[in-house]
Chain A
Amino acid sequence: MLLGTEKPNRRRVLRGIFNGAAVAVTLPFLDIFLDGNGTAMAATGKPLPMRFGTWFWGLGVDNNIFVPKTTGADYVLPKQLEALAAVRQHLNVYTNFNVFNDGRPNLCHYSGWVALRCGSAPTSRASKPGQSLDCAVSDRIGGGSRFSVLNIAATGKPRDSMSFRDADSMNPAEISPLELYQKVFGTDFVDPNSATFTPDPKVMIRKSVLSGVTEQSKALEQTLGAADRARLDQYYTSVRELENRLAMQLERPPAAPNCRVPGKPPKDIPIGLDVERVAERHKAMVDLMVMALSCNQTKVFNMVYSDSGSSLTRNGQEKTHHGYTHEEAMDSALGYQPNASWFVGRAMESWAYLIKAMADTPEGDGSLLDHSLLYAHSDCNLAKTHSVAGIPMFTAGKLNGRVKTGLHVDGKGEAGTRLGYTLQRLYDVPVASWGTQSMETSRELGEILT
């Protein structure tokens, strides 16, 4: 399309396309469509898509080798953060933030993560007092992509999802690279960089059928009590998401120049919780997720590396990660439990892999990570005592320049919900405050905001 050596500009590209090409030719998404800063679409002034992701690892950290000695920038990486050295410029580490149970029981390996996800400590293991914050963010930014949220469990266990609308409405996790590939890049995938685009007439019919399903089930509402009507409403919401997805398939997808559709389905990885296998599964699914983001298939995702009472194993050793946290003596010379700590180190390696994968994926004037914010945390501080005081958290990414990175932030014992509240505000989620009782906050973490 672009001839000669003349430097292309946006006008020239568009004129060339419309004067000579068939309608079916794709619009290349070049950087020249961006504004001068590369952070907004030049034609519309709309910001680049914002992405949000969460990442979870089970069984906390060892403060002695996790908490940097100084706050702010240029802190010395403690041993348990060494795996993050290559990506430290992209992340913030948050220590000394607390979960407060407010008289509720400290449910081992449960209270901590539930409170950080929905703002309140649960009352029982069946309790989730609110929706997880990824749902709130997804409601705000998820439109315009095929999947409002994608969930992944590197454990290979579908119950390992930390995304939920309420206690009985989980967003289930994809548990294998192959299933994730089929869901995102399977038969319904429309390549945004395809040279041609021809809407599939069957899609229109499917959309019409789904509308009819909703219409024909309206009478059912009349027979239900309030709780079941709410469940039916949730069903309708899910159907609407399907309809919206189909509506998108009827239009040429926005160009995505960095979308690299995986050439072939990945090999499946057998079930199992050996650390090496989990890392392999995690890597394969991260690679697919990064492509899903680049190809505009989703804007929000959640990843579970290990479950909250981590049953990860190390080949040939009797004890799981969880077993080591309780039964391994604290090495007085080292100041930590070497075997338990080894598992945390492996988790940090996988966390670093996700950050690097997104940082290495170009987009606009920067990287995919530059337009994202990742939120990572565990279920406790020291797993040996199930302490939810000092529960460790991270963020990674600048979210289009809104967030500073490279910092160590000391929470000074305040509620960990301050970070969850801050990031919801960063996505313009309309919350005046977040959390309940001692976890309620309406104060952003100003030190990370630009």
Chain B
Amino acid sequence: MMAALGGLLFGCAADKAKVGAAAGPARTAVAEPAVPPAAPTMRLMTQSQYANTIADIFGTDIVAKVRFAPVNRTSGLVAIGAAKAGLTPGVLDPLDATARSMARQILDTRHRDIFVPCRPVDAATRDDACATAFLAGAGRRLYRRPMTQAELAGAVGQAGQAAERSGDFYAGLAFSLGGMLVSPQFLFITETAERSPGPTGVWGLDGYSKASRLSFLLWDSAPDEDLLKTAERGGLESPAALRRQVSRMMASPRFERGLRAFFSDYLDLESFDTLSKDGEIYPAFSIKVAQEAREQVLRTVVDHLIVRKGDYRDLFTTKHTFMSSDLGVIYNVPVNRGSQGWQPYDFGADDPRGGLLTSVAFLAQHSHPGRSSPTRRGRAMREILLCQNVPDPPPDVDFSTFEEPSAKMMTARERLSAHATVPTCRGCHALTDPMGLALENFDGAGQWRKAEHGMSIDPSGSLNKVAFKDPAGLGRAVRDEPALRTCIVNRLYGYSTGRAPTPGDAPLLKYLQSELDRRGYRIEDMLGSIILSRSYFAVAPADRPAVVAINSRGTGNSHAARN
């Protein structure tokens, strides 16, 4: 199991030598800086977290089809917006309907014997003992901690009343379970602070909150029973025990879901749900192609980072990907139907494609419906991949200089060069266009082209004074750009904590980056370095008036200090 963590154990001489050789000269390790603790978060569960949690607890047989309301992307991540998101009636409506539907499925005649660990004395009325056995078990998994006595008593009481009214024990359970599935204890991932015992006690997340933070990060789902039991025993307190759990979780097939969820958020792949192109200009680009383009990115990421244990930076140069027959039309490559319609595919060494930037997903996502957009592509590279802010265009630009039609401006490069003549445009277009123009050999649907409007395309460009002559050069430049490393660490940290990094976090982030610079940006190391940092679970109660921790027996008695 420990092997799954790879180089997560900083201080391993062998790993240092190996990664140091790959990533540049090794530097002397410095002590990990402490960062000020932040307030615990209350995050609204995401759609995928919701679906995965239901699948993990009740199996994929239970249909949990629901479309969550959009959450603001905050500091580049929905995961951070989720810690601020409100639950308006329109947001709650579909969740309520789905909760009731799932509860009915779980307690129907096909499934009840799987999930209910007992038989009621009389199935036509209430049986509080049997209801307690079922609801306590389900509640523990759904609330990610043992239910309090009050919660359990309330749920059992509701199941009993509903059973009496309906004349059906299982219907009673379904009503009560439906309530739990729409409760804030389930829908909000609420962290709880507690102070360690003793006069010098420090504030931190309680064990169950730690388990949830780990599980939603690594599995995009609620903790399993093993993790909950470990938390219950206080088994996440020591670094060694924590390391064991992290190693176990990264070795699980569920880790792939965690990785997919992070990259879906980081790369803003949500937009593929509504991505469309002009059907006349790009007839080969269908809704199915858009969905498969997204899947291609995620398959490539999973294969590169988990299967091949590759360096994150090499995602921008890798020639290896996966292809479906529909995507093959866009890529103009022959594809035989493989397993589930996907097969591994390697672009040739001379092929201009390679890496995420030349994927149909990136190219089509950051284009217009009817044409490419070097500016959008450049902005996406800056803002998403390098965490840099490109200011909005000034509102009162005089567009007369580059209005069309102009016989002289056949290519995007020519049209955009006109912007350089306008002082208010020049600054921002200098940030975006030299990167984006390198991808102009790919049209708005991501298809290869040599010319635009009959004029040969010049794909040369630059990134922060690094010049390149084609898309492959752009991929290499992005791969080696220091901001790429800073950005991925920043985003992973924000994603895992549910809050935007503050200036107070900067020393730790800088430290983590320096460690990863030495070791390489493998996913186990990136996540492991964050999770095992001493400050990762440190929280302060902030303005919370009183902190009531669920103790290890789950009775809800307070043992936390009030501050």
Residues of A within 8 A of B (CB): 105-108, 125-126, 147-149, 151, 155-159, 165-172, 183, 201-202, 204-206, 208-210, 212-213, 215-217, 219-220, 222-228, 231-232, 234-235, 237-239, 241-242, 270-274, 311, 313, 315-320, 323, 326-329, 384-387
Q: Which of chain A's residues have a CB closer than 8 A to the CB of B179?
A: 209-210, 212-213
Residues of B within 8 A of A (CB): 39, 42, 67, 69-70, 72, 74, 81, 84-93, 96, 100, 148, 150-151, 154-155, 157-158, 161-162, 165-166, 175-176, 178-180, 182-185, 187-188, 190, 192, 273-276, 278-281, 287, 368-371, 392-393, 395-397, 399-400, 402-405, 541-548, 556
Chain B, Cβ-Cβ closest to A323:
B368
Given contacts A209-B178, A225-B541, 8 further A-B contacts (CB under 8 A): A108-B393, A158-B67, A172-B69, A209-B179, A210-B179, A222-B548, A235-B87, A327-B404
Q: How far is the CA of A183 from the CA of B183 in the complex (A)?
A: 21
Asked if B190 and A224 make an inter-chain contact with CB atoms under 8 angstroms apart, the answer reads: yes
Q: What are 25 A-B residue pairs whose CB atoms fall within 8 Å in the complex?
A: A149-B89, A149-B90, A158-B70, A170-B69, A171-B91, A202-B166, A205-B162, A205-B165, A205-B166, A210-B182, A212-B155, A212-B179, A216-B185, A219-B151, A223-B544, A225-B39, A234-B88, A235-B184, A237-B89, A271-B274, A271-B275, A315-B279, A315-B280, A329-B403, A329-B405
Q: How far is the CA of A219 from the CA of B150 in the complex (A)?
A: 9
Asked if B404 and A234 make an inter-chain contact with CB atoms under 8 angstroms apart, the answer reads: no
Asked if A274 and B178 make an inter-chain contact with CB atoms under 8 angstroms apart, the answer reads: no
Asked if B185 and A170 make an inter-chain contact with CB atoms under 8 angstroms apart, the answer reads: no
The 7 closest A-B pairs by CB, nearest first: A169-B86, A172-B69, A386-B395, A316-B280, A209-B179, A318-B370, A329-B403
Asked if A271 and B287 make an inter-chain contact with CB atoms under 8 angstroms apart, the answer reads: yes
Asked if A232 and B184 make an inter-chain contact with CB atoms under 8 angstroms apart, the answer reads: yes
A233 to chain B, nearest CB (A): 10
Asked, given contacts A148-B89, A171-B89, whether A212 binds B158 with beta carbons under 8 Å apart, the answer is yes
Chain A, Cβ-Cβ closest to B73:
A126
**Which one of B87, B190, B369 contacts A313 once the chains associate, using CB atoms below 8 Å?**
B369
Q: How far is the CA of A159 from the CA of B268 in the complex (A)?
A: 14
Asked if B399 and A327 make an inter-chain contact with CB atoms under 8 angstroms apart, the answer reads: yes
Q: Which of chain A's residues have a CB closer than 8 A to the CB of B276?
A: 271-273
Chain B, Cβ-Cβ closest to A227:
B84
Asked if A242 and B175 make an inter-chain contact with CB atoms under 8 angstroms apart, the answer reads: no
**Which one of A106, A212, A234 contacts B395 once the chains associate, using CB atoms below 8 Å?**
A106
Q: Which of chain A's residues have a CB closer than 8 A to the CB of B150?
A: 216, 219
Asked, given contacts A220-B185, A222-B548, A315-B278, whether A205 binds B396 with beta carbons under 8 Å apart, the answer is no
A262 to chain B, nearest CB (A): 19
Asked if B154 and A212 make an inter-chain contact with CB atoms under 8 angstroms apart, the answer reads: yes
Chain B, Cβ-Cβ closest to A101:
B395
Asked if B543 and A225 make an inter-chain contact with CB atoms under 8 angstroms apart, the answer reads: yes
Asked, given contacts A167-B72, A206-B175, whether A215 binds B88 with beta carbons under 8 Å apart, the answer is no
B89, B92, B96, B278 pick with most chain A CB within 10 angstroms: B89
Q: Which of chain A's residues have a CB closer than 8 A to the CB of B544?
A: 223-225
Chain A, Cβ-Cβ closest to B96:
A242
Asked, given contacts A108-B395, A271-B274, whether A216 binds B151 with beta carbons under 8 Å apart, the answer is yes
Asked if B395 and A238 make an inter-chain contact with CB atoms under 8 angstroms apart, the answer reads: no
Q: Which of chain A's residues have a CB closer than 8 A to the CB of B399?
A: 326-327, 384
Asked if A328 and B403 make an inter-chain contact with CB atoms under 8 angstroms apart, the answer reads: yes
Q: Which of chain A's residues have a CB closer than 8 A to the CB of B548?
A: 219, 222-223
**Which one of B39, B93, B178, B275 contacts A183 once the chains associate, using CB atoms below 8 Å?**
B93
Q: Which of chain B's residues have a CB closer than 8 A to the CB of A159?
A: 70
Asked, given contacts A169-B88, A242-B96, A273-B276, whether A319 binds B69 with beta carbons under 8 Å apart, the answer is no
Q: Which of chain B's residues have a CB closer than 8 A to the CB of A170?
A: 69-70, 72, 88, 90-91
Q: How far is the CA of A119 from the CA of B562 in the complex (A)?
A: 41
Q: Which of chain A's residues have a CB closer than 8 A to the CB of B393?
A: 108
Asked if B93 and A209 make an inter-chain contact with CB atoms under 8 angstroms apart, the answer reads: no
Q: Which of chain A's residues have a CB closer than 8 A to the CB of B275?
A: 271
Q: How far is the CA of A42 from the CA of B342 in the complex (A)?
A: 69
Asked, given contacts A172-B70, A313-B278, whether A239 binds B92 with beta carbons under 8 Å apart, the answer is yes
Q: Which of chain B's residues have a CB closer than 8 A to the CB of A387?
A: 395-396
Asked if A317 and B166 make an inter-chain contact with CB atoms under 8 angstroms apart, the answer reads: no
Asked if B87 and A242 make an inter-chain contact with CB atoms under 8 angstroms apart, the answer reads: no
Chain B, Cβ-Cβ closest to A111:
B395
Q: How far is the CA of A87 from the CA of B72 in the complex (A)?
A: 38
Q: Which of chain B's residues have a CB closer than 8 A to the CB of A149?
A: 89-90
Q: How far is the CA of A225 from the CA of B180 in the complex (A)?
A: 23
Q: Which of chain A's residues have a CB closer than 8 A to the CB of B161?
A: 205, 208
Chain B, Cβ-Cβ closest to A380:
B395
Q: How far is the CA of A216 from the CA of B190 in the complex (A)?
A: 15
B71 to chain A, nearest CB (A): 8
B90, B287, B546 pick with most chain A CB within 10 angstroms: B90
Asked if B184 and A107 make an inter-chain contact with CB atoms under 8 angstroms apart, the answer reads: no
Q: How far is the CA of A234 from the CA of B89 in the complex (A)?
A: 9
B393 to chain A, nearest CB (A): 7
Asked, given contacts A208-B161, A213-B179, whether A273 binds B369 with beta carbons under 8 Å apart, the answer is yes
Asked if B542 and A225 make an inter-chain contact with CB atoms under 8 angstroms apart, the answer reads: yes
Q: Which of chain A's residues have a CB closer than 8 A to the CB of B93?
A: 183, 242
Asked if B72 and A215 make an inter-chain contact with CB atoms under 8 angstroms apart, the answer reads: no
Asked, given contacts A234-B86, A274-B279, A313-B278, whether A168 binds B72 with beta carbons under 8 Å apart, the answer is yes
Q: Which of chain B's residues have a CB closer than 8 A to the CB of A316?
A: 278, 280-281
**Which one of B90, B176, B183 contacts A217 once the chains associate, using CB atoms below 8 Å?**
B183
Q: How far is the CA of A238 from the CA of B190 in the complex (A)?
A: 19
Q: Which of chain A's residues have a CB closer than 8 A to the CB of B96?
A: 242
Q: How far is the CA of A346 from the CA of B233 in the complex (A)?
A: 65
Q: How far is the CA of A149 from the CA of B91 in the complex (A)?
A: 12
Asked if A168 and B162 make an inter-chain contact with CB atoms under 8 angstroms apart, the answer reads: no
Chain A, Cβ-Cβ closest to B392:
A108
Q: Which of chain B's residues have a CB closer than 8 A to the CB of A386?
A: 395-396
Q: How far is the CA of A271 from the CA of B96 in the complex (A)?
A: 26
B210 to chain A, nearest CB (A): 16
B422 to chain A, nearest CB (A): 12
Q: How far is the CA of A225 from the CA of B393 in the complex (A)?
A: 38
Q: Which of chain A's residues have a CB closer than 8 A to the CB of B545?
A: 222
**Which one of B74, B92, B370, B542 contacts A238 once the chains associate, using CB atoms below 8 Å?**
B92
Asked if A220 and B190 make an inter-chain contact with CB atoms under 8 angstroms apart, the answer reads: yes
Q: Which of chain A's residues have a CB closer than 8 A to the CB of B368?
A: 311, 318-320, 323
Q: How far is the CA of A194 from the CA of B90 in the complex (A)?
A: 27
A448 to chain B, nearest CB (A): 30
A106, A166, A205, A328 pick with most chain B CB within 10 angstroms: A205
A137 to chain B, nearest CB (A): 15
Asked if B92 and A242 make an inter-chain contact with CB atoms under 8 angstroms apart, the answer reads: yes
Q: How far is the CA of A316 from the CA of B10 in the complex (A)?
A: 57
A245 to chain B, nearest CB (A): 9
Q: How far is the CA of A219 from the CA of B185 in the complex (A)?
A: 10
Chain B, Cβ-Cβ closest to A135:
B88
Chain B, Cβ-Cβ closest to A241:
B89
**Which one of B92, B371, B405 contacts A235 once the chains associate, using CB atoms below 8 Å?**
B92
Chain B, Cβ-Cβ closest to A218:
B150
A108 to chain B, nearest CB (A): 5
Asked if B175 and A205 make an inter-chain contact with CB atoms under 8 angstroms apart, the answer reads: yes
Q: Which of chain B's residues have a CB closer than 8 A to the CB of A234?
A: 86-88
Chain A, Cβ-Cβ closest to B542:
A225
Q: How far is the CA of A105 from the CA of B393 in the complex (A)?
A: 11
Chain B, Cβ-Cβ closest to A183:
B93
B42, B151, B371, B547 pick with most chain A CB within 10 angstroms: B42
A209 to chain B, nearest CB (A): 4
A278 to chain B, nearest CB (A): 11
Q: Which of chain B's residues have a CB closer than 8 A to the CB of A205?
A: 161-162, 165-166, 175
Q: Which of chain B's residues have a CB closer than 8 A to the CB of A126?
A: 72, 74
Q: Which of chain A's residues have a CB closer than 8 A to the CB of B157?
A: 212
Q: How far is the CA of A446 from the CA of B287 in the complex (A)?
A: 51
Asked, given contacts A232-B184, A271-B276, whether A169 binds B85 with beta carbons under 8 Å apart, the answer is yes
Asked if B287 and A270 make an inter-chain contact with CB atoms under 8 angstroms apart, the answer reads: yes
A107, A125, A237 pick with most chain B CB within 10 angstroms: A237
